[in-house]
A and B are shown apart, each in its own frame.
Chain A
Amino acid sequence: MDKLWLIIKREYLTRVKRRSFILATLLTPLAMGLFIVVITVIFSYESDDTKRIAIVDEGKILAGNIASDGNIFFRKMDTDLETLKQNLPQEDYNGILYLPPVADVLDNNYEIYFYSDEKLTLDLEPVILRGVSRALREYKINALSLDKRQLEALDTDIELEPRPITAAAENNTGKLASKIAAAMGFVMGFVMYLTVFIYGMMVMRSVMEEKTNRIVEVMISSVKPFQLMMGKIIGVGAVGLTQLAIWLILFPVILVISSLFFGVDPSQMEAPAGAGQIDPEETQAMVTQIMAEISNLNWWVIIPLFVAYFLGGYFIYASLFAAVGSAMGDDLGEGQSLTIPITIPVLLAFYIMIATVEAPNSSLAVWSSIFPLFSPIVMAARIPYDPPAWQLLVSILLLIGTAIGLVWLSGRIYRIGILMYGKKTSLKELVRWLFVKM
C-alpha cells in the first residue's frame, strides 16, 4: 500500500509540476474566454463606414423619413430622380432609393430601386427593406381603411407551456428545463469523451515511455507490476480530476471577468448575430431564468454521479490503454493498430451520446447507458434528464464490475507486456498472455 501511494504521488506530482501542465490548465480557459470575447466583438462590430442615402418617394409612401440605423442615414428629397442622379457626385450621397407609385394596393409585390455605383452591402439591404416594409404597411392600412387594432389581433404569439401531472415531476418539465438539460447533457457527455481519451492516452504513452526507457525492469524489482500500473492509472486520473476541478472554477471566473471588462454578456453567446434585436430587459429576464433552471438541477446528485461515471469510464479505458501500451514496442506507429479496438467503443459511445441528447429515453439511449463500455459517456448525457433510479443502479453496478474486471485483465497483460522487448505483438498474443503463469 505504501509503495502504491509512493507511485501515485510520483505520477501525480511529476505531471502537475510540469510547466506544460500548468500552462495548459491555466491557458485553456483563458484562451476560451479570449475566443468568446473576440467572437462577440467581431459580431457586435458596427461599421464605422457612414452611409447617406437619398430617397425619391414618388409613390408618396413614406409618411415621414426612414429612421436612420447606426451609421446609415436617410434623407427624403424633393428633386426628381434624373436630376438627383446627375447631382449625386457633388451631393455626397452613397446612393438613391427610388420608391415608385403603388399600382395596386392588393398586390403583394412591390419593386423598389437602389441607384448607386457602389455595391449594395449586406448591412444596408436589411435596413432599407425593414424601413420600406414598415412604411408600406402603414400606407396600405390607410389606403384600404383597415382597423389597425383588428389587424394586430391577427398576429398571435403562441406559447407552449409544459405542465407536470404529478407533483414529483414539478422541477423537470419546465419550459427551459429540457433545453438546459440537453445542453448540460451534451457538455457532460463531451467532457467525459474528451477526458477518457486524453487521460487514457496519457497513461498509454507513459507506460510505453517506461518500457522504452528500460526503467520498468528496475521498478518491478521493487514493486509488483500491478502496483506500478495502478499507481500510474490512479496518479494520472488524479491529474485529470485536478485539471477538471480547476477548469470548473476558472471558466465561470473568466466569463465573469470578461463580461466585466469587455461588456460581453455571456448570455448573448448563443445568438451573437441576433443579439442586437433582443430587448435588453428580455435578455436579463432570460438569464435569470436560465440561472434559476441551472440551480434547479439537482447538483448534489449530478456531480457525484458525474464523478462516479468519470472514474468508472476512466478506469476501464485507462487500464485497457495501459495494457496496450505495455504490449507496444519502441515504435508508436507499429502498435497503433492495437489501440483500434479501444477507440471504437469510445467513438461509438460519443455518437450515441449525441443521439441521446435528442431522445434521452429512446431504447438506444437507455440500453447504451447501461452497457458499461458506453455508459460513462452516454449516461453522462442522460443524468440531467433524471433517469429512473433502477437504470442508474444497474448501470453503476455493471460499470463497477466491468471496471474491476478489466483492470484485472489489463494487469495480466501488462505484467507480461512490460518485460517483452523487440517483438511485434498481435491481438491474439495479448489474449494468450491473459492465461500465462508468471
Chain B
Amino acid sequence: MPDVIPADSVGIVTPEIAHFDQPLSLTSGGVIDTYDLIYETYGELNPQKSNAVLVCHALSSNHHVAGYHSMEDKKPGWWENMVGPGKAIDTNRFFVVACNNLGGCYGSTGPASINPATGKPFGPEFPIVTVRDWVESQARLSDRLGIDTWAAVVGGSLGGMQAIQWSIDYPERLRHAVVIAAAPKLTAQNIAFNEVARQAIRTDPNFHDGRYYDFNTEPDRGLRIARMLGHITYLSDEAMREKFGRDLRDEKIDFDFDVEFQVESYLRYQADSFVGKFDANTYLLITKVLDYFDPAENFGGDLTRVMAQARASFLVVSFTSDWRFAPSRSREIVKSIHDNDLNVSYAEIKASQGHDAFLMKIPHYLDVVGAYMDRAAKEVGA
C-alpha cells in the first residue's frame, strides 16, 4: 500500500453481501436454494440509473476490482489500471459494480461455504455452474440494485465470455458489451490445459474426493501445480524471455533440483501466493465453467446465429501475443457480430505480455477502452 492513496484510485472500499432466497435453477439441472453474492461498487448511480457498469471477473479474480480494503493492503484491486477516477472506466462518470461469481471462494457462495442442508461445507456437492448461471445470478443482483439496463458489461478473458452471454441472454439489459481477450469457446488445447490442472488437484493425496475440509487439510500441492501451469499459459514465450530469459537466481548452476532459473522462482512464487487464499474446489469448478462455455452449442455451432439475439453494441479487444485466447478467437466473435449488422469495434493491441496483457497498463489498450467508454458515457448522459 502506498502511504497516500493515489488521486486516480477509488481509495478505500468495502464489499457488501447480497443474500438471495429464491432458488436458482442451473444449466446442469441442479439447483442452488439460497446463496450470497459478495460485491463492490465504485462511483455513484445517477438518478436515471443509466450509468451502471458491470465488471465481470476471470478465473481466479474476484469482486475486488479497484481500490484498497485497508491502508495495510499491499496491492489494489485486480483492475486498478482500468477502473478509477479519470481512468478508462471512469468512476467519476460510471457506477461500477463487480461481484464474486457463484462458486467462488472470496465471499460468494461456493464449494467451501456451509451447505445449510448438512451443516458442512458443500465440497464436491456444490453443483457445476456455467457462464449462463452466472449471468442469471448477476441479473438478480442487478434487480436488487435497481439497475434495469447496464450502460456496459465489461470483462477480460472469462469475464469477456460473461459479457457475451449477457448480450445473448438479456439483450435489452445492456447497451454495450466490452469483450477483452476472450474466445467464443475453448479449443481442445485450452481444455487440455484445464484438465492437467484438475488432475494435479484431484490426484493430490490431500484432496480426499473434494472433502478435504473435513480433514482439516487442503490439496496445496495440486493447486500449486495447477496455478503454475495456468501462469505459463498467461504469459507469452516473448514475455518470459524478456522477464526471465535463462537468468539464474544465484550466479551459477548447482546441478540439483532446487530453484535455479528465475522462471522457476517466479512460478513457485505465484503458486505460493495462491495457495491459502484460493479454494481448490473453486479452481476445479471454474475450469469447468470455462470448458463448458459455448453459446453456439445449441445453434449448430453457428455463433452468428446465436449472436442474432444480441442488441448491444460491442467493443472487442485482443492482444497480439495472447496464445491462450489468440486474436483469431476474438475475430470469430467480431465476425459473428458484424454478420448481424450490429455495432462492433475491434482493436488488436500490440503487446508482448501474452494473455495477462488485459490486466496491464498498456497505453493504446487503455486509450481504446477509454475512448469507447467515453462514448458510452455520453450516450447515457454520464
A binds B: no
